């Protein structure tokens, strides 16, 4: 989260020479500029312009080995005007045929003589059948639904413009023109902007301004460096999956956590590095050390300053355990919690971003240091490096600046505006647009306890923009049309899903019992052969049962057919001759 909340952290690390000698930016086309504005509207982040590549070396003209003299050029020109053939001229002057032809054509063309080469007919410029509105609307669909495939986009575009054909290569070309490339997606929980979260954020700015005049505020959080901090991609031969072994998340190696408390007045207050994930044990140990540090700071206070300490934490589970909360009460130390899913309100998140940059730039330091099994000496060396980076990064000025950056989100929180991006605070115009467009659709109710107004469950999903600003046809026609197309597509998918002969609660993922029961026998047999299952596995047992059931069904159908034939014989012949049915069936 710290990396996404501080996207400009790499800027201060550049030298003045690098800043002044950057490659110039490539100007955007009208379609690219419109898509960039829509990106800022939907995600809150303006995409950076693409830089020009390194300039090529100037070409040096190599000296020609053979140069036709001016006298020969005049002869070629005169003889060509007289109508002589290039072959005869080349034989007389002892030159190559191609040389004579090129020189003659060029001289006749410059002199506008009739014997020159015929002007080549210019090819008509092929006008694209895709207008800018089509391209922008297709790009808007991708911005609103990044997981759309090219095939699905071609079908959606074909439904919007039935008279125009959209092939998969054409959709790929349109997305390339809009600079929309394929990347790894990041998932985000919907509870970021649940009704209860929006209510908690509305009261937090007023609480913080009230507590700032009565308490000395401390910010506490942990940063885990564990086995999840590794590359998600690797290289391998075709058909082979790259596998990397990682240590277990135990105290023996594979996880390291940094506990940190900062304040705008003192900067770094207390820090601790332990060789395990943050849990209630390490949190209790850190808080005990924090209490001792605060006792020493109390002795250095100015006279008359009797403000108590207030520790602001996030909602991690170890902060809510009784083992930790009871110690806060015993130590007479006040604490409170941030609103859920609101890391952009915690200045320490930006500190962690700078800290990671400092560790990356540190000589001889690499993140594999965190994920390998370590001895006591290695852990001591690692702790020393991390603490050195913490002392270098955490200053009162930076904590105060990050507090002001968090304060930029307070107006949006007061108005109950959903926030989806921690790298950019909503502007005043965004908040006004949110208030004006949602005033008519806002649903309020009263709780039974204190009459506090809250948003209905659907208010956080009443828009398609991830920035929280509803999409209006008057202001965003392309986004509105794309949202309508996606809504119709979603309804069609729901209808198709309702028409499928599968129960809603059935788990038909590959490898489940319902999947083994539903796929064709040939596909199940190929799956068993490919995986190499033995005879006692669920897949093989299901296959044998289905084969036996199919065989029994065939036998049953044959028996029914025989009975039908016997009944037909009885009705046609036996009854007319006075024979009994028992005699006919037995003979």
* Strand ranges of the sheet holding 216-226, from the earlier edge strand across to the other edge: 267-274, 255-263, 216-226, 309-313, 334-337
pLDDT for the residue numbered 230: 52
Is pLDDT at 348 greater than 80 in this prediction?
yes
Of 578 and 71, the one with more pLDDT? 71
- On whether the CB atoms of residues 174 and 130 are closer than 8 A, the answer is yes
Report the domain count for the chain. 3
Q: Which residues lie across from 225 on neighbouring strands?
A: 256
Split at pLDDT 50, 70, 90, the class of 180 is: confident
pLDDT for the residue numbered 56: 61
Of 570 and 48, the one with more pLDDT? 48
- On whether the CB atoms of residues 394 and 351 are closer than 8 A, the answer is yes
Among the listed residues 84, 110, 89, the one whose alpha carbon sits nearest the alpha carbon of residue 99: 89
- Within this chain, do residues 206 and 341 fall inside the same structural domain, yes or no? yes
What is the mean predicted confidence (pLDDT) over 75-84?
A: 87
What is the mean predicted confidence (pLDDT) over 59-80?
A: 79
pLDDT for the residue numbered 161: 92
Give the count of beta carbons closer than 10 Å to the beta carbon of residue 207.
13
The overall average pLDDT reported for the chain is 75
Range of lowest pLDDT (84-88, 179-183, 264-268, 374-378) = 374-378
What is the mean predicted confidence (pLDDT) over 408-430?
A: 82
Is pLDDT at 194 greater than 80 in this prediction?
no
Distances (CA, A) of 470 to 41, 65, 201, 484, 565: 10, 70, 20, 13, 71
Please report whether residue 212 resides in a domain: yes
- Within this chain, do residues 221 and 319 fall inside the same structural domain, yes or no? yes
Please tell me whether the overall predicted TM-score, pTM, comes out greater than 0.75 for this model.
no
Distances (CA, A) of 412 to 191, 203, 417, 422, 432: 17, 11, 5, 12, 10
Of 56, 84, 111, the last residue of a domain is: 111
pLDDT for the residue numbered 508: 63
Range of lowest pLDDT (112-121, 166-175, 204-213, 570-579) = 570-579
What is the mean predicted confidence (pLDDT) over 74-95?
A: 88
pLDDT for the residue numbered 262: 93
Reduce the DSSP state of residue 79 to 3 states and report it.
helix
Of 178 and 53, the one with more pLDDT? 178
- On whether the CB atoms of residues 38 and 478 are closer than 8 A, the answer is yes
pLDDT for the residue numbered 9: 38
Range of lowest pLDDT (209-218, 460-469, 527-536, 545-554) = 460-469
- Within this chain, do residues 391 and 281 fall inside the same structural domain, yes or no? yes
pLDDT for the residue numbered 198: 83
- Within this chain, do residues 267 and 355 fall inside the same structural domain, yes or no? yes
Reduce the DSSP state of residue 116 to 3 states and report it.
coil
DSSP of 150-197: HHHHHHHHHHH-TTS---HHHHHHHHHHTT----------GGGG-HHH
Cα gap 139→155, rounded to integer Å: 14
Q: Which residues of 158-176 are buried (b: 16+ CB within 10 A; e: fewer)?
A: eebbeeeebeeebbeebbe
Split at pLDDT 50, 70, 90, the class of 585 is: very low
What is the mean predicted confidence (pLDDT) over 132-154?
A: 88
Split at pLDDT 50, 70, 90, the class of 173 is: very high
pLDDT for the residue numbered 476: 76
pLDDT in tens, 373-408: 566 777 777 788 888 889 999 999 999 999 999 999
Split at pLDDT 50, 70, 90, the class of 51 is: low
Contacts 24+ apart (CB under 8 A), 202-206: 202/413, 202/414, 202/415, 202/416, 204/338, 204/339, 204/342, 204/345, 204/410, 204/413, 205/407, 205/410, 205/413, 205/414, 206/414
Range of lowest pLDDT (72-81, 399-408, 443-452) = 443-452
DSSP of 341-406: T-GGG-THHHHHHHHHHHHHHSTT--THHHHSB--HHHHHHHHHHHHHHHHHH--HHHHHHHHHHH
Give the percent of the chain with pLDDT over 90: 14
- Within this chain, do residues 329 and 203 fall inside the same structural domain, yes or no? yes
- Segment holding 580, helix H or strand E: none
Among the listed residues 157, 272, 183, 269, the one whose alpha carbon sits nearest the alpha carbon of residue 223: 272
- Segment holding 257, helix H or strand E: strand 255-263
Of 385, 414, 443, the last residue of a domain is: 414
Of 79 and 22, the one with more pLDDT? 79
> Which 3-state string (H, E, C) describes 292-320?
HHHHHHHHCCCCCCCCCEEEEECCCHHHC
- Within this chain, do residues 225 and 106 fall inside the same structural domain, yes or no? no
Among the listed residues 212, 236, 247, the one whose alpha carbon sits nearest the alpha carbon of residue 410: 212
- Within this chain, do residues 201 and 331 fall inside the same structural domain, yes or no? yes
Split at pLDDT 50, 70, 90, the class of 466 is: very low
Is pLDDT at 268 greater than 50 in this prediction?
yes
Of 367, 386, 414, the last residue of a domain is: 414
- Within this chain, do residues 222 and 367 fall inside the same structural domain, yes or no? yes
pLDDT for the residue numbered 402: 92
Is pLDDT at 369 greater than 90 in this prediction?
no
pLDDT for the residue numbered 171: 92
- Within this chain, do residues 97 and 194 fall inside the same structural domain, yes or no? no
pLDDT for the residue numbered 580: 45
pLDDT for the residue numbered 572: 58
Of 394 and 530, the one with more pLDDT? 394
- Within this chain, do residues 390 and 527 fall inside the same structural domain, yes or no? no
Q: Tell me, what CATH number does 321's domain have? A: 3.30.420.10
Is pLDDT at 145 greater than 90 in this prediction?
no
- Within this chain, do residues 282 and 396 fall inside the same structural domain, yes or no? yes
Please report whether residue 334 resides in a domain: yes
Domain range enclosing 547:
503-587
pLDDT for the residue numbered 15: 58
Please report whether residue 277 resides in a domain: yes
pLDDT for the residue numbered 10: 39
Please report whether residue 120 resides in a domain: no
């Amino acid at each position: 989260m710290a990396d996404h909340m501080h996207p400009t952290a790499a800027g201060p690390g550049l030298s003045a020479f690098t800043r002044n000698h950057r490659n110039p930016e490539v100007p955007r086309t009208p379609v690219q500029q419109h898509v960039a504005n829509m990106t800022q509207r939907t995600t809150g982040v303006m995409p950076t312009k693409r830089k020009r590549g390194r300039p090529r070396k100037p070409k040096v003209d190599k000296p020609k080995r053979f140069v036709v003299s001016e006298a020969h050029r005049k002869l070629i020109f005169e003889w060509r005007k007289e109508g002589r053939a290039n072959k005869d001229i080349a034989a007389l002057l002892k030159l190559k045929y191609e040389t004579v032809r090129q020189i003659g054509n060029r001289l006749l063309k410059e002199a506008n003589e009739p014997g020159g080469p015929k002007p080549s007919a210019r090819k008509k410029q092929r006008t694209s059948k895709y207008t800018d509105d089509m391209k922008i609307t297709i790009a808007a669909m991708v911005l609103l639904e990044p997981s759309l495939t090219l095939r699905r986009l071609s079908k959606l575009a074909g439904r919007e413009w039935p008279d125009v054909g959209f092939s998969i290569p054409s959709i790929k070309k349109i997305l390339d023109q809009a600079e929309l490339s394929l990347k790894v997606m990041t998932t985000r929980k919907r509870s970021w902007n649940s009704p209860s979260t929006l209510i908690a954020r509305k009261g937090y700015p007023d609480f913080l301004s009230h507590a700032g005049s009565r308490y000395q505020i401390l910010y506490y959080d942990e940063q885990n460096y564990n086995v999840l901090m590794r590359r998600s991609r690797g290289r391998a031969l075709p058909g082979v999956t790259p596998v990397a072994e990682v240590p277990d998340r135990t105290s023996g190696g594979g996880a390291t956590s940094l506990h940190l408390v900062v304040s705008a007045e003192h900067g770094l207050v207390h820090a601790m590095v332990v060789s395990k994930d943050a849990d209630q044990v390490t949190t209790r140990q850190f808080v005990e050390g924090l209490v001792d540090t605060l006792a020493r700071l109390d002795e250095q206070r100015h006279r008359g300053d009797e403000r108590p300490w207030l520790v602001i934490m996030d909602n991690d589970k170890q902060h809510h355990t009784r083992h930790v909360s009871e110690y806060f009460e015993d130590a007479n130390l006040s604490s409170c919690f941030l609103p859920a899913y609101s890391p952009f309100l915690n200045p320490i998140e930006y500190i962690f971003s700078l800290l990671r940059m400092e560790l990356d730039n540190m000589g001889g330091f690499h993140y594999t240091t965190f994920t390998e099994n370590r001895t006591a000496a290695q852990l001591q060396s690692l702790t020393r490096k991390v603490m050195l980076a913490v002392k270098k990064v955490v200053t009162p000025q930076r904590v105060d600046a990050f507090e002001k950056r968090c304060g930029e989100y307070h107006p949006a929180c007061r108005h109950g505006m959903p926030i989806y991006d921690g790298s950019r605070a909503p502007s005043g115009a965004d908040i006004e647009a949110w208030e004006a467009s949602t005033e008519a659709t806002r649903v309020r109710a009263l709780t039974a306890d204190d009459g506090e107004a809250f948003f209905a469950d659907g208010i956080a999903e009443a828009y398609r923009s991830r920035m929280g600003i509803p999409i209006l046809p008057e202001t965003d026609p392309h986004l509105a049309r794309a949202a309508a197309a996606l809504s119709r597509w979603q309804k069609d998918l729901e209808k198709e899903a309702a028409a499928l002969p599968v129960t809603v609660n059935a788990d038909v993922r590959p490898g489940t019992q319902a999947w083994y029961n539903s796929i064709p026998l040939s596909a199940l047999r190929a799956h068993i052969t490919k995986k190499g299952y033995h005879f006692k596995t669920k897949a093989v047992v299901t296959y044998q049962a289905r084969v036996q059931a199919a065989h029994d069904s065939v036998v049953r159908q044959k028996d029914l057919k025989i009975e039908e034939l016997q009944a037909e014989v009885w009705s046609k012949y036996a009854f007319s001759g006075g024979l009994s049915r028992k005699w006919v069936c037995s003979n």
